[in-house]
Structure 1
Amino acid sequence: MKKLFTILGCIALFTVATTTVKAQNYKNAIGGRFGSYNGVSFKTGLSKGAMLELIGNFRSNNSFSWVQLTGLYEVYNPIKGADGLNWYYGGGASVGSVKNKFSDQSDIYLGVNGVLGLDYKFKGAPINLSLDWIPTLRLTPDTDFYSGDVGLGVRFTF
């Protein structure tokens, strides 16, 4: 538990210390995120150069069903010479549930997430695209590392 608080503290300190960059090109965006976990994504601007992203994911196969909610604090940095294109990084947490369809057993899990991605806002159109990678350190019910989900986000900006 001490390691977890140390990691979370370092992530929070790092993100707070680096939020003085130029802001992204929109205030809010809502749409879908498509990867191994498909779901709904909502982004909102917090401070100059930072956004909060909430992702509701779901996945199912013949044996299991998963539902997960992820919250990410993201720091945006413009890419020079490419108007509307930013790269971003950050961290957050997730909570989810997995259900075994055959045994009717389920578990709740918690995780710590990182995020690294690219974000593009089309000039003159309310469309935003992102491509990101979200690795996860799962804390419960068993501690393990999930190397991450690569996802494509397609959102309407406002």
Structure 2
Amino acid sequence: MKKIIFLAVIAFACGTATAQSNYRQAIGIRFSSNVYYDAAAVSYKFFVSNPGAIELNLGVGDRRYWDNNDYRHARGVNFAGTYQHHFQIKPVPGLKWFVGGGLVLFNTSANAPDYDGFGAGIYPTGGIDYKFARIPLNLSADVRPIIHITAPSAFETVYPTVGIAARYAF
């Protein structure tokens, strides 16, 4: 009996926590100005509380660079996890702004050691998020200045990026 009551309380709390957001979760694609390892990513976002959401991205990129009088490619993959705290923008239903931060892990593959290898970084983030009222579409735009903790030597220590995402909300 205690387990049933406990599960009922948890279910009620989860339902109440997300009742004020326009959607509970969304999946789609995110495009970024970070061509090294995050040009395009699968994006999954879910709310853990009324204002708090987690966004997970699995992305790829391809950066061309000049080496020995020839263009080469540094191809990369990444995984990023972000916490976002949302705030309503009252005049427009479904429009919110958010701040937060996250962690990115990436690996690039290139013929030049300066572009080849594993990296990790942290970033603050901020942006806007909009969920259409009549269709299951969520759009967002954000800024993520990535601070590389470790990266191949050709990577900048601070790499400012902007991104846009379109997701199916459910």
Regarding TM over 0.5, the answer is: yes
Is structure 2 residue 147 aligned with structure 1 residue 145?
no
Alignment length (residue pairs) = 137
Q: Deviations over 1:39-82 (max 9, x none)?
A: 11000111121000001121114421111111000000000101
Structural mapping, 1:7-156, within 5 Å: 23-36=20-33, 37-60=39-62, 61=64, 62-101=72-111, 106-141=116-151, 144-147=157-160, 149-156=161-168
Q: Deviations over 1:22-52 (max 9, x none)?
A: 9531100000001222111000111121000
Q: Deviations over 1:72-115 (max 9, x none)?
A: 00000000101110000100101000111466x73110101111
Over the matched positions of the two proteins, sequence identity in percent amounts to: 32
DSSP 3-state at the match of 1:81:
coil
DSSP 3-state at the match of 1:25:
coil
TM-score by length of 1: 0.79
Question: Bigger radius of gyration, 1 or 2?
Answer: 2
Gaps of 5+ in 1: 1-19
Cα-Cα RMSD: 2.2
Q: For residue 162 of structure 2, what is the amino acid of its counterpart? A: V
Inter-partner Cα distance in structure 2 for 1:70 and 1:132: 14
Decide whether the 8 Å contact of 1:23 with 1:76 is kept in 2.
no
> Where does structure 1 differ by over 3 angstroms across 4 or more consecutive aligned residues?
none
Decide whether the 8 Å contact of 1:24 with 1:86 is kept in 2.
no
Q: For residue 119 of structure 1, what is the amino acid of its counterpart? A: D
Q: For residue 130 of structure 1, what is the amino acid of its counterpart? A: S
Inter-partner Cα distance in structure 1 for 2:106 and 2:49: 28
Inter-partner Cα distance in structure 1 for 2:20 and 2:101: 18
Gaps of 5+ in 2: 1-16, 34-38, 65-71
Inter-partner Cα distance in structure 2 for 1:152 and 1:113: 16
Inter-partner Cα distance in structure 2 for 1:155 and 1:84: 14
